[in-house]
Amino acid sequence: MENQRGHVIVLPYPAQGHINPLLQFAKRLASKGLEATFATTHYTVKSIQATTVGVEPISDGFDEGGFKQAPSVKAYLESFKTVGSRTLAEIIVKYKDSDSPVCCIVYDSLLIWALDVARQFGIYGAAMLTNSASVCSMYWQINQGALTLPVNPETIPLSLPGLPSLRFSDLPAFLAQPEASPVYLAAILEKFGCLNKIDWVFCNSFEELEDELVKAMLGLWPLVMIGPMVPSAYLDQQIAGDSAYGASLWKQTGDECIRWLDKKPENSVVYVSFGSMTDIAAKQAEQIALGLKASNKSFLWVIKDNENKLPVEFVNSIGETGLVVTWCNQLEVLAHQAVGCFITHCGWNSILEGLSLGVPMVAVPQWSDQPTNAKFVEEVWKIGVRVRKDENGIVIGEELKMCVNEVMDGEKSKEIKRNASKWRELAKKAVSVGGSSDRNIDEFVAKMLKAEGK
């Protein structure tokens, strides 16, 4: 028994933005001496490449096509709960009599049924929140009765502990339009109803980034900050060779982007990407094209499905000024010295990546937690500006041009760049030896190395 290592199963929700931080956490746990097994769906398992982490398939009931195969969100989540619980249990049984029986499940907080599986086997259960702590606190306040849905317009601007004053346009989409995604909203609210039953609640953020909230919530809820979960090569370099997440559900474009960036001057390129889930409408794509062209800046634009979305004359006229691709290695691009601005949808992973690499941002939020993240980008962390949309919810080209020029060359640009560099250093410090996130992870690892069960 002396050689027995703590064995942790890490279970993501099978979408790119959830897989990345949980896989990164698994790698970090492995680098600190734990045995980590990444349990992901049959449909996504072939996309995982992580040499230091074990990988096991589980079933969501849709092994051929994953989420796209399901008839509805509700059907998918119910199937994943039923079939996932059974197949997750099978993995635990598989290791039960080995040298390293499983002592904890770290699960994506959307998959709260994993806690029932942990309890069934008498092992620890730990949830991972993949949004900011600030956004998560708003859902928690609903559970506490301090915030009601739908949000009463008379309470706007909203004042909540540890958060800036929030206008209606700053609220997460699930709170601003609760009727638009009732199934996901129900799943989110359910997970915040059982926080006090979980052994650990991890958050992919760091204490310094959300210090007002951390102070306000101290002793009220069991949050442990362990982020940013970004490959080690870009921050603390504690994990040898860790230069990529090790998971991609999209086909990469090879070195084309880097070769193109290599020819550009330092801080001269605008990088545009709206993440793995957001689908940009043709009208919006056209306005972005107009704004990029009018800015007179070089640009690298990732647009997954650009068929018939981009004006033909735009595509034919960009020449060496711009490069349009369907996907790229975002970390490599953001780390490149030629990139001086990141036009982002403000997904939490993209925010953490841009912030960890010190890249100023133009915030173009779409849905979910993104409006709140955009608020923080502009007004709290002051690392960029947020676009203003027209009455139809479209960002017109002239607005985008003005925002790009403000971040790159305008009156605020020096302050924005200073703040971006400051947050990069604080992110690096948090995950480095002795930093706030590193200490929190070490405490968990120490407990796991002693664990022979709950």
pLDDT by position in tens, the chain (length 454): 344 579 999 999 999 999 999 999 999 999 999 999 999 999 999 999 999 999 999 999 999 999 999 999 999 999 999 999 999 999 999 999 999 999 999 999 999 999 999 999 999 999 999 999 999 999 999 988 999 998 988 899 999 999 999 999 999 999 999 998 899 899 999 988 888 889 999 999 999 999 999 999 988 888 999 999 999 999 999 999 999 999 988 776 668 999 999 999 999 999 999 987 777 889 999 999 999 999 999 999 999 877 678 888 998 899 999 999 988 999 999 999 999 999 999 999 999 999 999 999 999 999 999 999 999 999 999 999 999 999 999 999 999 999 999 999 999 999 999 999 999 999 999 999 999 999 999 999 999 998 654 5
H-helix or E-strand spanning residue 107:
strand 102-108
Q: How far is CA 4 from CA 8, 86, 95, 187, 443, in A?
A: 12, 26, 12, 36, 18
Beta carbons within 10 angstroms of residue 94's beta carbon: 13
Q: How far apart are CA 291 and CA 404, in angstroms?
A: 9
Q: How far is CA 95 from CA 87, 222, 306, 311, in A?
A: 13, 29, 46, 56
What is the length of the chain? 454
Task: Tell me whether residue 18 is one of the annotated catalytic residues.
Answer: yes
Report residue 94 as tokens: 């598989």
Q: How far is CA 257 from CA 281, 325, 332, in A?
A: 24, 8, 9
The 8 Å CB, 24+ separation contacts for 250-255 are 250/16, 250/276, 250/304, 250/326, 250/327, 251/326, 251/327, 252/327, 252/328, 252/329, 253/325, 253/326, 253/327, 253/328
Q: How far apart are CA 361 and CA 354, in angstroms?
A: 8
Q: Which of 108, 170, 369, 438 is catalytic?
A: 108
Q: Which residues pair with 11 in a beta bridge?
A: 107
Q: Please confirm whether the linkage preceding 172 is cis (ω < 30° from 0).
A: no
Q: How far is CA 81 from CA 111, 267, 372, 382, in A?
A: 7, 47, 29, 40
- At residue 363, the 3 state secondary structure works out as strand
> Tokens 């398939």 map to which residue?
57
pTM: 0.96
Q: Which of 18, 60, 236, 438 is catalytic?
A: 18
What's residue 450's pLDDT? 86
